Chains A and B, each alone.
Chain A
Amino acid sequence: MNLERHTVNMRLGMLLEIATVLGAVLGGITANLLSGAVLKKLFAFLLLVVSILMIRRARQRRTSEHVHLDGALPGSFIDDATGAEVKYTVKRIPSVMGVGFVAGNVSGLLGVGGGIFKVPAMTMLSGMPIKAATATSNFMIGVTAAASAFIYFANGHMDPYIASPAVLGVLTGSIVGVRLGRKIKSHVLTWIFALVLLAIAVQLYLR
């Protein structure tokens, strides 16, 4: 649905896929260098800082997001909440790829999805509109999950009586989520994302 509405930046998504898959492959090295407990506290603090920065952005209550037009990988889409066309470009691509690498590296260790790192990086570092950032992050999920899914399948860890209902539930939720997300204004979406980040930060710290 996001692809059809042109909210996905496919080129950025594919660049980030390289970084994330590479990070995931090297995740075992991080697991050996740092204890899980230290990593969780470190990232809980980092997510807390990022959620505060995102809340500050959302409080500005802009009706249209401030976007850069002097970067690379241009994109545009119609924001269904406002009816306006949003044009943007992507800045600081190497930095965002670095965050993608970290996301791939530690998300398995922390038990969280990579989107909580990549979406703030795309909005705050690259200056992407949040709807394009979340759509691009969703676009990447399949690829980053596919590799590990085959590993679990090959090792006999997939119970179809558990996996099938879970997949169907996630599919239903994501369809509802995309339809709702289209109608929500960008600053509200930023608030929601920032609050979810805050909740994850607290949960990570307390684990």
Chain B
Amino acid sequence: MQTPVTDATVERWSSRVLRYGVWGSASLMIIGLILAALDSFTHPAPEQNPSLGELVHRVWSLTADPIILMYLGLVLLMFTPIIRVITAIAGFAAERDRRFAWVGGVVLLMLIGEIVYSVVVK
């Protein structure tokens, strides 16, 4: 039985994730920079980067300022490759290429492990 998902499909999914992630983050940064410029850059960068929770809260409560928008863009950019790895794992699994689905799983685990160690332990 022929599987409907091919390498070209996985490439297309990964390409879309990267494209939407990168353009989404660029859009947030551009909007943030324009708003900051219109305000004559009166919003100073904080001494400590906001936490991810704070970023989500500010967006949810519609209290995001230009700085928060720029941070959101940067965070989206950082998450984009991770989402790309997840997409590739799903694609290889759908293609019945278990070996490389596992390879992707190892990459994802290593990334998550390093991030958790750095953010939580350090």
By a beta-carbon cutoff of 8 Å, the part of chain A in contact with chain B is 1, 3-4, 6, 8, 10-11, 14-15, 17-18, 21-22, 24-25, 142-143, 145-147, 149-151, 153-161, 163-165, 167-168, 171
Q: Check A142 against B111 for contact (C-beta < 8 Å).
A: no
Q: Which residues of A contact B67 (CB under 8 A)?
A: 160
Which chain A residue shows the least CB distance to B115?
A150
Q: Contacts A21-B114, A142-B84, A143-B107 given; indicate if A161 touches B45 (C-beta within 8 A).
A: yes
For chain B, the count of residues having a C-beta within 8 Å of the partner chain is 48
Chain B residues within 8 Å of A, Cβ to Cβ: 7-8, 10-12, 14-15, 18, 22, 25-26, 29-30, 32-33, 36, 41, 45, 47-49, 67, 70-71, 73-75, 77-82, 84-85, 88, 100, 103-104, 106-107, 110-111, 114-115, 118-119, 122
Residues of A within 8 A of B70 (CB): 160-161, 163-164
Most buried by A among B29, B71, B100: B29
Query: Is B78 touching A153 in the complex (CB atoms < 8 A)?
Result: yes
Given contacts A4-B12, A14-B103, A167-B74, contact A143 B111 (CB under 8 A): yes
Asked if A21 contacts B118 (CB within 8 A), the reply is no
Look across to chain B and name the residue whose beta carbon is closest to the beta carbon of A141: B81
Closest to A140 in B: B81
**B111 partner residues in chain A, CB cutoff 8 A:** 21, 143, 146-147
Q: Which residue of B lies closest to A16 (CB)?
A: B107
**Which one of B22, B70, B100 has the greatest number of beta carbons of chain A within 10 Å?**
B70
Instruction: State whether B75 touches A171 (Cβ < 8 A).
Output: no
Q: Are B8 and A6 in contact (CB under 8 A)?
A: yes
